[in-house]
Structure 1
């Protein structure tokens, strides 16, 4: 939150400013004071609406997505209240400075605005910043420093005003004079609100400039650039891949119906497509005509050339995977295939902080059939696979030394096994965002996009 205009005494704002007594009666000095307050209030209002615009336009992508509706609505309400209250305050202030007959007591109005707009606004700001990633740069460090410095100045300036002779006189008369009692009460409300805002500004600084590690330790985020921010994305994407689950990969057992026992097929690491920034195509060909199901996996390289990447066969009854050696002659002419094409959407701050991944899929059930969209739904959770009409894509991170080189785990040169969710780390547990390690609002899997052109082989 940016600096709020300094709101002071109910009677004679200009005459209450210390160290400038010789200028109090000058009209140009009054105009400067009024203009300064208008600029500060306008800048604060603009920052509030810019924050709301960022929050309202955030799209669901990698790691981050739209905030909860209650937070967005609360932020909108505070922005609307702030617009109305600042407008009233500026008009009231102009009447007090230039005519000496304001509509409302300045300190009473200031106390009301602080508690219905400033305090809620900084509270919402703290909640948002605590759960979000901030770009690391010297510019961002200066911005956060200005925020907390502004809050400190507001408190110190108010303390100077409230230690003036008039303020002390009001404290002495508090038991005998109703007006003095009201002014002291209003100043107490103002000061309490300002201290809360200062505390909120300090928390925003802490959340933006420090990071909390999973073990509870706190590190200062050292900037490496001046203006262009850098995001610490390694903690989100290292060893995270896209996994595909389909009944085709499951054993012929009752246990395969449960999510933790479903066989997962690894497609590729998220960092690969983020670094290459070109469409990625994965072709899964399979043959179920005789004996164990045979698979050949092909991928397109950065030049668009399709190459054979891996082949294996699975025996559903024996529950084993045999790694193939001669993939070129591995599958008969009559084949089925899944063809995935993935596209990386580049980051666009603040709408897509880490970008997004979209995909489209086509299927072909034999060499003579047409290439078409699948007749099943692809969910972002394997728990939705209650029947044959549902498959799933999901982000997972490998644990420990688990192999992440191939599409299935190669336990030896000739044998392998599938991945399972119980031996992987779900992305929900990986993507804990911000200083507070909040639950991720991002997508759990790539987004389906029919506009991506996919051609079968």
Structure 2
């Protein structure tokens, strides 16, 4: 009988240690995941308040982790009601001031990021769930054993602690289930830890109709100046994210002749043969699409040309950027690439084109047949801050609203 009792105490000690250690490690993994998150497509960094709160709870958890280990070993080596009551009270306190807030933070993140299932979110919820089951079992096993052995006063104290502890444990269990539901909806036959890219429903929800737009803003007499609300569409987001080799990216050039009559020529240099995408003529604020050969002839006969050369690449999804990111580099040259100017005259930004607006061309068509105009905000374009609202509560997008500038991307003047 003594051997069985000793074996039972050893099992309780080992299982408690495993549960506490699992929870301790998952706490710090969860915190590191919050700290190292990067901004990218749709999802960005976490709020400073959430990061600071998680750090504080991790510190509290580390202190109580050490205290629980010490008390567990003391319980294993010596039967003492006082030690056991202190241990149970510490368990109750840890659950209330550390485990419950941590899983609540996890739920808050899952509410806004349910599509971007994250490994650490699942691990943290699993650790908390395992700890709940273990502690719930041990709390009531200990209580009923002590009650059977007698001791009314001790039983009343233990009963109160056990009831309050059980309520918190069941609350945590419910919150863990919420995390699983929000991240998987219990509908996936297989949980895809971390996003595997913008595909399927994610593509339709986040990037369908979203493009990369450009605006020129300069006082130079030769450079075509655009109003703050006017934008030129370069390429759809899907055209970059769905390349056969997204890391190689897509290279574009936009050429503008000097005012007053402006010719605009957009080309794709990623293919073996340079591919003309669109060619236009802007005269007295009226824009017409013209044949490619006319554009080529026009640009061959003038030296007053502004050339914007761009490289866009897609960074694959990772733990820090659940849906990946777009990197860009831009160069601006004048006079057939003989003079380089600062690239900050070019602004790139993501927009979603409104459903009723045609979105497949550099400019959008007007009601007048054969005429086009700049995409404008808010008539034609919707901010991705609005378009990329996420989660059940439609949380504001935390990702960047433009590609990330990466000067390491190789780009030369394309003419």
Does TM, normalized by the shorter one, top 0.5?
Answer: yes
Q: Does 1:442 align with 2:409?
A: no
CA distance in 2, matches of 1:363, 1:327: 20
User: Residue 145 of structure 1: CA displacement?
Assistant: 7.8
Q: Which residue of 1 aligns with 2:278?
A: 310
* Cα displacement (A) at 1:327: 2.3
- How far apart are residue 401 of structure 1 and its match? 3.8
Correspondence for 2:211: 241
Give, in angstroms, the shift of residue 248 of structure 1: 7.0
Residue 121 in structure 1 maps to residue 102 in structure 2: yes
Answer yes or no: is 1:407 the counterpart of 2:357: no
Secondary structure of 2:76's match? Answer: helix
Q: Partner residue of 2:223?
A: none
Contact 1:323 1:410 in 2 (8 A): no
Question: Counterpart of 1:365?
Answer: 334
Task: Check if 1:455 corresponds to 2:415.
Answer: no
Q: How does 1:187-198 map to 2 (within 5 A)?
A: 187-198=162-173
2:242 aligned counterpart, secondary structure? helix
For 1:209, the equivalent position in structure 2 comes to: 184
**Which residue of 46, 55, 75 maps to 2:25?**
46
- State the distance in 2 between where 1:233 and 1:142 align: 23
Equivalent residue pairs, number: 393
Q: Quick check: 1:321 aligned with 2:287?
A: yes
TM-score after normalising by structure 1: 0.76
Instruction: Determine whether 1:341 maps to 2:278.
Output: no
The answer to whether 1:420 aligns with 2:376 is yes
Partner of 1:183: 158
Paired with 1:226 and 1:53, the residues of 2 have a C-alpha distance of 21
Cα separation, 2, equivalents of 1:92 and 1:149: 20
Distance 1:224 1:202 in 2: 17
* SS of residue in 1 equivalent to 2:109: helix
Show CA shifts across 1:377-430 (max 9, x none): xxxxxxxxxxxxxx5322111222421221111347732111112122210112
Q: Does the aligned pair in 2 maintain the 1:337–1:364 contact within 8 Å?
A: yes
- Aligned to 2:175, the other structure's residue is in SS state helix
- Whole-Å Cα distance in 1 between the matches of residues 95 and 125 of structure 2? 21
Tell me, in whole angstroms, the C-alpha distance in 1 between the residues paired with 2:49 and 2:28.
17
Is the 1:244–1:392 contact (alpha carbons within 8 Å) kept by the matching residues of 2? yes
Deviates more, 1:152-161 or 1:124-133: 152-161
1:61 to 40, 51, 70: 40
Residues 136, 221 of structure 1: 8 Å contact kept: no
CA-CA distance at 1:70 after TM superposition: 0.9
C-alpha deviations, 1:237-256, integer Å up to 9, x for none? Answer: 1111011122479xxxxxx8
Asked if the contact 1:144–1:208 (Cα under 8 Å) also holds between the matched residues in 2, the reply is no
Q: In structure 1, what is the Cα distance between the partners aligned to 2:240 and 2:233?
A: 14
After TM superposition, the score normalised by the length of structure 2 is 0.83
Q: Within 2, Cα distance between the matches of 1:197 and 1:368?
A: 63
Which of the residues 291, 298, 307 maps onto 1:330?
298
Q: Name structure 1 gaps, 5 residues minimum.
A: 1-20, 211-219, 250-255, 377-390
Q: How far is 1:98 from its partner?
A: 1.2
Equivalence map 1:377-388=2 (5 Å):
none
For the residue of structure 2 that corresponds to 1:354, the secondary structure is coil
Aligned to 2:222: none
Q: 1:168 to 1:400 in 2, by over 3 A?
A: farther
Q: Describe the shift of the 1:285–1:360 C-alpha distance in structure 2 as closer, same or farther (beyond 3 A).
A: same
- Please give the residue correspondences for 1:61-80 in structure 2 after superposition, counting only pairs within 5 Å: 61-80=40-59
Structure 2: distance between partners of 1:125 and 1:168: 41
CA deviations over 1:221-252 (Å, ceiling 9, x no partner)? 43467778656422111111011122479xxx
Distance 1:230-1:340 versus aligned 2 partners, 3 A rule: closer
Q: 1:147 to 1:454 in 2, by over 3 A?
A: same
* Cα shift readout 1:33-77 (whole Å, capped 9, x = no counterpart): 211111111111111111112111111111111101110111111
Q: Which whole-Å CA distance do the structure 2 matches of 1:195 and 1:375 have between them?
A: 56
Contact 1:58 1:66 in 2 (8 A): yes
1:265 aligns with 2:240: no
